[in-house]
């Protein structure tokens, strides 16, 4: 697709002609072990061409993502996107609908070396991992072998395809006493109390509190800043420790196991909605033990945990009702 003058002017205002994009481009090529270009053009000309190229390559993906979002959430795409003659603001409409930044801040974050900035550092780690996977991908090795075999010029490159595995939830101990040991040893990182309400994130294994006022954090209504503290204004949102973790590292969507309650909570909607789900642990009679009231030994049921893994992968739990699955499921909002 060719961007018109209005598109390019708007992109310039949003920072898409920032010369730092060229530094990002060169750094990513180095990470993927792709030789730098031998031809050097004026930076102004290069960054404009790079900006147009990146946006043009992203548009088809953004279109598909937008209609997938509409089919999943039921939120209609903007009416302007259905008009084939109105392409002036398609880029901005797609980014706005998907909740993505209109500026290239995510790309420029690759140049950020501040590891204390957790938000940007996680993005840098993700992009870097993609590049390193591409460097070792099968497509890359085949391409190198063909170039060597047929004596092709080094500039003839095949875009590497990263080989990624389907994500899975973490492995859990066979006996529930293993989780109890974790909870017993866990202490609130802020209060130091051992009587906290620990949860384990089933995506990464991080321990954090579910209901602990000492670990509560406050996030401004604009979602632009999050800090820990003991006071809050009317415009601030209170976040429990596990909510803050899921928002920061898992896009606000992850299952967590509340250890002392023996319940799974599927956090969604930026970790502000919790769907209660039976824990994949049952006793010898095949019954769960919510809140651990009966005290019978509990053991992991692999089939139930695999079912939870599939529901997490398919993003189905927030849209399910109790009649859609063979066990009761309750929706709560923090």
Nearest to 14 by CA among 96, 98, 105: 105
Judge whether 196 and 209 are in contact, CB under 8 Å: yes
In order of 79, 80, 98, the CA distances from 318 in angstroms are 26, 29, 18
What pLDDT shows up at residue 328?
38
Residue 116, token pair as written in the block? 């204390």
Start-to-end CA distance of the chain, whole Å, equals 44
Q: Any idea what the Cα angle at residue 97 is, between residues 201 and 70, rounded to 5°?
A: 75
In order of 34, 58, 61, 71, 259, the CA distances from 253 in angstroms are 35, 24, 22, 18, 19
What does the alpha-carbon distance between residue 61 and residue 230 come to, in Å, rounded to a whole number? 43
What does the alpha-carbon distance between residue 63 and residue 81 come to, in Å, rounded to a whole number? 9
Long-range contacts of the stretch 314-317 (C-beta < 8 A, 24+): 315/72, 315/253, 317/266, 317/268, 317/275, 317/277
Q: How many residues does the chain have?
A: 334
Spell out the per-residue pLDDT of the chain, length 334, in tens.
Answer: 455 555 556 666 666 777 777 777 877 777 777 766 554 544 556 777 777 888 788 888 888 898 888 887 788 887 777 665 545 567 778 888 888 877 777 777 766 655 555 556 667 777 777 777 766 666 666 666 766 776 766 544 444 455 467 788 999 999 998 888 877 777 655 555 555 688 899 999 988 888 777 777 776 655 534 333 444 444 467 788 888 888 888 888 899 999 988 899 988 877 778 888 889 999 998 888 888 888 889 999 999 999 999 988 887 766 554 333 344 334 444 5
| pTM score of the predicted model | 0.54
């Amino acid at each position: 697709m060719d961007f018109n003058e209005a598109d390019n002017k708007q992109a310039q205002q949003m920072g898409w002609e920032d010369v730092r994009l060229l530094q990002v481009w060169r750094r990513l090529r180095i990470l993927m072990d792709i030789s730098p270009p031998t031809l050097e053009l004026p930076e102004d000309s290069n960054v404009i061409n790079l900006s147009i190229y990146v946006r043009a390559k992203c548009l088809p993906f953004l279109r598909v993502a937008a209609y997938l979002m509409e089919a999943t959430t039921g939120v209609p795409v903007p009416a302007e996107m259905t008009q084939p003659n109105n392409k002036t603001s398609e880029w901005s409409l797609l980014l706005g609908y998907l909740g993505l930044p209109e500026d290239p801040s995510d790309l420029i974050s690759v140049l950020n070396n501040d590891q204390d900035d957790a938000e940007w550092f996680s993005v840098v780690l993700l992009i870097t991992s993609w590049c390193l996977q591409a460097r070792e991908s099968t497509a890359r090795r085949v391409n190198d072998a063909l170039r060597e075999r047929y004596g092709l010029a080094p500039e003839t490159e095949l875009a590497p395809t990263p080989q990624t595995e389907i994500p899975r939830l973490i492995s859990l101990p066979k006996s529930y006493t293993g989780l109890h040991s974790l909870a017993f040893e866990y202490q609130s990182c802020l209060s130091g109390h051992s009587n906290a309400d620990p949860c384990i994130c089933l995506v990464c294994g991080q321990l954090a509190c579910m209901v602990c006022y000492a670990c509560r954090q406050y996030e401004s209504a604009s979602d632009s800043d999050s800090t820990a503290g003991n006071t809050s204004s009317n415009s601030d949102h209170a976040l429990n420790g596990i909510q803050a973790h899921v928002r920061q590292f898992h896009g606000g969507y992850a299952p967590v196991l509340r250890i002392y309650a023996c319940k799974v909570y599927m956090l969604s909607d930026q970790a502000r909605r919790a769907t209660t789900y039976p824990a994949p642990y049952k006793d010898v009679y095949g019954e769960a033990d919510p809140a651990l009231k009966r005290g019978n030994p509990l053991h992991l049921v692999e089939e139930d945990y695999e079912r939870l893994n599939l529901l997490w992968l398919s993003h189905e739990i927030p849209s399910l009702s109790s009649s859609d699955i063979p066990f009761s499921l309750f929706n709560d909002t923090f």
